[in-house]
Chains A and B, each alone.
Chain A
Amino acid sequence: MERLSSSNEVIRLFVLIVLSLLVPLLPWLVSGIGTAVYQPKKKQELLQREQAFAKTSDVLSTLSKPLSGKEVKEYQVLMTNVVMSPSWIQILVGGILSLFGGEINVFTKVVDWSRREAQQRLREQAAASGYDEVINVRMETTTLSKIRGGKDKTTGIEVLAYGTGIKY
C-alpha cells in the first residue's frame, strides 16, 4: 500500500516535469503550425489575386516612358509597401542553414513573397484609381530591426514598390 502510493507520486511528478518542459515549447508549436498553415493560405490568396490580373498584360513596367508611345494625360506617383517577417521556425532553420552557406531557401521564399505582395498591391492601386499603366517602377528592400536584450534583432523586411501611374 505504501509502495503503490509512492509510485503514483513518482508518476505524477514525472508528468508535471514533462508538462513544465512543454510550456516553453508552446510558442514554438504555435510558430510551427503558423508556418505550415497560415503562410500557405495567405500565399494562395495572393496567387488568386495575381491570376485575376494576369488575364491582361502586366501594367507594371520599369521603362521611363510608356512603350506604346501614347501621350500621357494624367499621372501620379503611386507607392505601396509591405512589411513581412519570417516566423520563428523559419529564422531557426535559416540560422542552421546559414552555417553551411549556400542558398537559404526559407528566407528566399519570404522575400519573394513580400516582393510579389508589394507588386500586386501596386497593380491593385493602379486599377482602383483607373491608371492604364505604371511606368518607372522601382523596388526597394530594407530590414527592420529592434533592440531586444541588448541585441539588434531583425523583426521583418519592408518592400516598397513605387512608380508613376499614367492615363493615356
Chain B
Amino acid sequence: MQPQVNIPFSNTETIPGMTITQMMGVVTGSTVRAKNVFKDIGAGLKNMVGGELKAYTELLQESRNEALYRMLVDAQARGANAVVNVRFATSSVAGGAAELLAYGTAVVVQ
C-alpha cells in the first residue's frame, strides 16, 4: 500500500467548513492495469454463469485508489492543500487492461 497523502478531497464544489482562496488548476492521476492470466481464466469461467467477477472488482478498486493517490500527489506538488470536485473516469484499453483516471480541481483552502 502506498503512503497516505494527507490532503482533504471531496467530490462537491467546496470543502465543508472552509473557504477556497486560490485555485491551482486541474490535477489528474491515472493508471492502466491488467489482471494476471490466471485470474483472467477464473473470470472467464465465471463468465459462463454471469454475475459478479470479484477479481476484477478488486482490481479496479485497487487501481482507482492508486489513481486517486497520484492525483493527490500532483495536487501537493502544486502547493494545493485540498482537491474539490473530484471525478472518476474509466476506459478499457485493448488487451484486457483498464485505464482509471481521477481528476479534480486543486485549491488552497482556509
Interface of chain A: mostly helix, strand, loop or mixed = strand
Report if A160-B90 is in contact (Cβ < 8 Å); known contacts: A81-B61, A136-B11. yes
Which residue from A27, A88, A143, A166 sits with its C-beta under 8 Å from B92? A143
Q: How many chain B residues touch the partner (CB < 8 A)?
A: 36
8 tightest A-B contacts by CB?
A: A34-B49, A87-B50, A146-B96, A72-B16, A83-B56, A142-B90, A31-B48, A83-B53
Query: What would 10 A/B residue contacts be, using CB atoms closer than 8 Å?
Result: A33-B49, A39-B51, A75-B16, A79-B64, A81-B64, A84-B50, A138-B11, A142-B91, A144-B56, A156-B53
Q: Among residues 26 to 51 in chain B, which have CB atoms less than 8 Å away from a CB atom of chain A?
A: 40, 43-44, 46-51
Q: Which of A42, A81, A88 contacts B48 (CB 8 A)?
A: A88
Q: Does A127 sit within 8 A of B, measured CB to CB?
A: no
In residues 22-65 of chain A, which contact B (Cβ within 8 Å)? 27, 30-31, 33-35, 38-39, 42, 64-65
> Interface on A for B, CB 8 Å cutoff?
27, 30-31, 33-35, 38-39, 42, 64-65, 71-73, 75, 77, 79, 81-88, 90, 110, 114, 117, 135-136, 138, 140, 142-147, 152, 155-156, 158, 160, 162-164, 166
Tell whether, in the assembled complex, residue B47 and residue A88 are in contact, meaning their CB atoms are under 8 Å apart.
yes
- The residue in chain A whose Cβ has the minimal distance to the Cβ of B52 is A84
Is the Cβ of B48 less than 8 Å from the Cβ of A34?
Answer: yes
Judged by DSSP, the binding face of B is mixed
Bound state CA distance, A138 and B90, in angstroms?
Answer: 13
Question: Interface residues, chain B, CB within 8 Å of chain A?
Answer: 9-13, 15-17, 40, 43-44, 46-54, 56-57, 60-61, 64, 86-92, 94-96, 98
Q: Are B51 and A42 in contact (CB under 8 A)?
A: yes
* CA of A146 to CA of B49, assembled, Å: 18
Chain A residues whose C-beta falls within 8 Å of the C-beta of B64 in the assembled complex: 79, 81, 160
Known: A35-B50, A42-B52. 16 other contacts (CB 8 A): A38-B51, A71-B17, A75-B16, A77-B86, A82-B57, A83-B52, A84-B53, A85-B46, A85-B50, A87-B49, A117-B52, A142-B90, A142-B91, A144-B56, A158-B57, A163-B11
Question: How far apart sit A22 and B78, CA to CA, in the bound complex (Å)?
Answer: 64
User: Which B residue sits closest to A38, measured CB to CB?
Assistant: B49
Q: With A83-B60, A85-B53 given, is the CB distance from A75 to B98 under 8 Å?
A: no
From B16, B49, B51, B98, A142 is in contact (CB under 8 Å) with B98
B17 proximity list for chain A (CB < 8 A): 71-73
A35 to B16, CA, bound (A): 46
* CA distance in complex: A42, B46 (Å): 14
What is the CB-to-nearest-CB distance from A64 to chain B, in angstroms, rounded to a whole number? 5
